[in-house]
Amino acid sequence: MSAAARILQRERRSSFLVTSATLLRWHRELVKRKWTPRVPSSLVGQDSVIEPGFSTAYQDWDRRWADESERSDWREPEPAVVELLTRLWARQASHVLDVGTGIGRHALFLAREGFFVSALDASPTGVEVARKQAKAAGMAIHFRIGPFVPFPYPDAAFDFVLAWNVLYHGDGRTARAAFAEVSRVLRPSGLFLATMLSKRNAYFGRGQEIRPDTFVIEGDEGDKSHPHFYVDASTLLDMLGDLSMLSLTDLEQGQPGSCHWVIVAERTS
Ligand SMILES: C[S@@+](CC[C@H](N)C(=O)[O-])C[C@H]1O[C@@H](n2cnc3c(N)ncnc32)[C@H](O)[C@@H]1O
C-alpha cells in the first residue's frame, strides 16, 4: 500500500471524520430550520470551532492585517480570479463566496463586476478593513467573521466559491471538512477556485510534523508557526469528493519554491 493510501486509510478510520460528519449533519439540520450558526464571541480571534488548536493561522493574519505595510501586497486580484470571470459570466453566475477573504481584494473585485458577494474570514481586523473599503465604494458585500468550518451558509447558495491561499491553514482533516463544505454550498454547475500548498513547496517537511503532512515551524516570524497542510495531486483529487476537477496546476507564487496548487473544479450534480 502506498504512503498516501495508508494516510487516507488512517484518516478515514480516525474519530475526527465521525465528529466532522456529525457536525456537518447537525449544521445541515439547523440550516434547514433557518438557523444560522454563529461563532461565539469567545471564539472569534481564537480557534476554529471544529478543530481547536489546528486552524489558528488567522491569528497571525489578524496581526498582519492591522499593519498597512503588510496589506500592500494584497490589494490587487489574482490573475487566475480575473481570468475566471468569462467562465462565470458564461454560466450566468450571480452569487459568490470568498472564503478567507483577508482584506477583501477578491470580494471587492467581484462585487465591482456585479456579483452578489458573501465573504468570510476569522480575522476581525481583515474583515473590518474590507468592510470599510466596501462601504467607501458603496458596495453591499455580506461579510462575516468566523472560521471556515463549518460555513455559515445554507446548501446550494452559491455559483462560485473562491478560497485563495486559505484552506491549507490547519491539518488534513480541517481541509477535507472545508472541501465538503464547498461542495455543500455550491449549486449544480457551480465553480470552485482554490489554492492549496503543494508538497513541492520549499516549506514542506520543515519544522515539526504535528499531523500527517501538517507542519509547524516553531519561532517562524510569519504564519508558519501555525499548522500548514501540504498535498499531492492524488490526495487533492480524493479530497474533491463529488466535485469534478477542471484544471490543476502546481505554480510558484512569486518566490522560488513557493509552490501552490491552483485548483478549478465544478459541482456537476
Ligand atoms: C493568505 S491570506 C489570503 C487572503 C485572501 N484570500 C487573498 O487572497 O487576499 C489567508 C486568510 O485566511 C484567513 N484564515 C486562516 N485560517 C482561517 C480559518 N480557520 N477560518 C477563517 N479564515 C481563516 C486568514 O485570516 C487570512 O485572512
* pLDDT value of position 222: 87
Closest CA to 185 of 101, 95, 93: 95
pLDDT of residue 230: 98
Nearest CA to ligand 1 atom 1: 165
Q: What is the pLDDT of residue 53?
A: 58
Ligand 1 center–CA 60 separation, angstroms? 10
Structure confidence by residue, pLDDT tens digits, 40-96:
333 333 334 444 558 899 999 999 999 999 999 999 999 999 999 999 999 999 999
211 ligand 1 Cβ < 6 A: no
Mean pLDDT, to the nearest integer, of 170-183? 95
- In the reported structure, the alpha carbon of residue 2 is separated from the centroid of ligand 1 by a whole-number distance in angstroms of 32
Structural domains counted in the chain: 1
* Domain that includes residue 165, residue range: 3-267
Q: Which residues contact 219 (CB under 8 A, 6 or more apart)?
A: 225
Q: What is the mean pLDDT of residues 159-184?
A: 96
Over residues 255-265, the mean pLDDT reads: 96
What is the reported pLDDT for 43? 34
pTM score: 0.83
Task: Report how far ligand 1's centroid is from the alpha carbon of 126 (Å).
Answer: 9
> pLDDT at residue 9 above 90?
no
Supply the CATH number for residue 104's domain.
3.40.50.150
CA 138-98-189 angle, 5° bins: 115
151 lines ligand 1 (CB under 6 A): no
Rounded CA-CA distance 210/225 in Å is 12
Q: What is the pLDDT of residue 21?
A: 41
State the distance from the centre of ligand 1 to the C-alpha of 261, rounded, in angstroms: 16
